[in-house]
Amino acid sequence: MPLTTIPVITIDGPTASGKGTVAHLVAVRLGLHYLDSGALYRLTALSAMRKHIDPTDEHGLAKAAAGLNCHFNGEHVFLSNEDVSAAIRAEEVGNLASRIATLPTVRQALYALQLGFRSPPGLVADGRDMGTVIFPRATLKVFLTASAEARAGRRFKQLIAKGMSANMHDLLKDLNERDARDANRTIAPLRPAEDAYLLETSNMTAEAAVTQVLAWYAAARKREESHPAVK
């Protein structure tokens, strides 16, 4: 199958918008591969922290990104064969990930790695720039939104469920700061692709969001079959 004909669904959105949950469920339902691109930025951040790379050392950070020795197995993420699934979810790792994601050299270093996830029978990719930069010709592009309060509430529940401590006030502050950084950076800022479907999920269950994405995907595949285009 030529690489460019392998179907891709991109699901972008701000932090804690539910894109990870929705993208993962859509991938399972359709039997497609799943790329959590945010995990790559988090892995780079964790790797940099462990190597004591200064957060302002762009060259060192890009080297850490290019040299990432990572793999995914189901919902588990490994860095040099160590299961770091929980470690990369820590707020300090997320904050550093958001900061280093503003660096063009880091984004460039992770570009080819992300393209490599596109393999048969297809891919569901979630992140910030999946539809705008990494897979601009995706079969279906979705952009999830939710109010900052709804997203902070979700993140709070996730952290508590994992036995980690959390504070709504701090979470909301972090989330607003991260949103501003992700949306205002000059390179690959968080924004919907022009041809993305917008889905506001503040008052929607993950299941309802998945149903909507599957319906959009079925329609997109039908359109492609009737008007095959070189992708």
Would you tell me which residues interact with ligand DC (CB under 6 A)?
15, 37-38, 41-42, 94, 97-98, 101, 127-130, 178, 182
Compute the distance between CA of residue 138 and CA of residue 9 in angstroms, rounded to an integer: 6
Closest distance of CB 58 from ligand DC, Å: 15
Query: With respect to ligand DC, which residue has the nearer C-beta, 15 or 139?
Result: 15
Closest distance of CB 157 from ligand DC, Å: 16
Per-residue DSSP letter, 91: H
Closest distance of CB 228 from ligand DC, Å: 28
Query: With respect to ligand DC, which residue has the nearer C-beta, 1 or 144?
Result: 144
Closest distance of CB 34 from ligand DC, Å: 13
Q: Which helix (H) or strand (E) holds 21?
A: helix 19-30
Query: With respect to ligand DC, which residue has the nearer C-beta, 26 or 101?
Result: 101
Per-residue DSSP letter, 25: H
Type of residue numbered 74: G
Please report the DSSP string for 190-230 in residue order.
S---TTPEEEE-TT--HHHHHHHHHHHHHHHHHHHHHS---
Compute the distance between CA of residue 50 and CA of residue 110 in angstroms, rounded to an integer: 19
Q: Which helix (H) or strand (E) holds 41?
A: helix 37-50
Closest distance of CB 187 from ligand DC, Å: 9
Query: With respect to ligand DC, which residue has the nearer C-beta, 182 or 199?
Result: 182
Query: With respect to ligand DC, which residue has the nearer C-beta, 46 or 97?
Result: 97
